[in-house]
Amino acid sequence: MREWNFSAGPSVISAEVLKEVQSELLEFKESGMSVMEMSHRSDIFSDISNNAKKDLINLLKVPDDYDVLFLQGGATHQFSMIAFNYKHLSSTADYVTTGSWTKKAFYEATKIFDPNEVFKSDEDICKKVPNIEELRLSKNAAYLHYCPNETIEGVAFHEIPKIDTPLIADMSSVILSEPLEVNKFSIIYAGAQKNIGPAGLTIVIINKEFMEMGNKNLPNILKYSEHSKSNSMLNTPPTFSWYIAGKVFKWMINLGGLDYFEKQNKLKASLLYNFIDNSDFYENTIDASSRSIMNVPFNLKESKFEEKFLSEALNNGLLNLKGHRSVGGMRASIYNAMPLEGVKDLIKFMDYFKSKNN
């Protein structure tokens, strides 16, 4: 039996998907080779990549006036790629910094032009996200950048801001967790290693009209338009990660798509938060309206028990519960591939540990 992996990323992948990948690892469908060995320009891989793209478009109901790109470099590469592409549209862009990843995105943009940090938390950890529509936004911003779900701090937006500025979102840790109105965004980007598949792949969903507004003077590798023209094969893509992502998309569709996963994810999160909130041993300090459904940070009210908690959790098959080094404490990442049973086992252990040490 597999143990429960609560890692924030690279993170848990469905055992069903992994078994299917395992069965095809040495040879993919009588091709004589593994997917890892085949040319990205072969007919076989073209079928794999095109089917994955179609399934992602189907899952998210991506409109026809958007393209879906399968790129490299992680979300971190997008921090600079976005700024390089759109800095010529205005002297500034607006950034909402609610956690570690948005702070990094803002910092990278400052190396390229003069972005405006329209919100930053007064505390080390943002406990409640702002209403973006009520912020003092720039009149001529090239775009507004935010992160609907901060992986490290476990703070989230649950409403899409209604603003006129082109909206760009880092959805690395929340994409595919629930239905999404793609047409509200100019760019959505996400590293794959949380809800999509292995590390090495980055998904970019981009409005075609906005894409064509990108800086024409950049090297081709930095132009969204060039990646789009080449169907994400301007250079050799991360083929094996793309292949596994396609398996994940099929798995999700077969289970009922985003409506199914939204119900499962909200149920998992509510069970865990309810247990924490009703405990005098654990705590989560994020405002209830801004809590992530993907990443649940929590502290033991007596920090002296932390190392013991992690050690015993590991012995009970509960992996990677240590919080990020920048914030400490514990964190349970409960992405799509974490089943309800895993969350129930975590709660059972937390209750047991409390009774033994309280």
pLDDT, tens digit, for every residue of 88-124? 999 999 999 999 999 999 999 999 999 999 999 877 7
Give domain limits for the chain: 32-254, 257-357
CA distance 131 to 148: 12
CA within 13 Å, CB half, 132: 25
CATH of 257-357, one of 3.40.920.10, 3.30.70.3040, 3.90.1150.10, 3.40.50.20: 3.90.1150.10
Radius of gyration of the chain measured on its C-alpha atoms: 21
DSSP for 58-106 reads: HHHT--TTEEEEEESSHHHHHHHHHHHHHGGG-S--EEEE-SHHHHHHH
Q: Is the dihedral of CA 107, 108, 114, 118 positive or negative?
A: negative
Q: pTM to 2 decimals?
A: 0.97
Alpha helices in the chain, H assignment, sequence order: 15-24, 43-60, 74-86, 100-110, 208-211, 224-229, 239-255, 257-277, 306-315, 340-357
- Please, which pLDDT band fits residue 2 given cuts at 50, 70 and 90? confident
CATH of domain 32-254: 3.40.640.10
- Please, which pLDDT band fits residue 326 given cuts at 50, 70 and 90? confident
Domains 32-254 and 257-357 equal at CATH topology level:
no
Q: Catalytic residue numbers? A: 101, 170, 194
Triad 272, 276, 278: Cα angle to 5°: 120
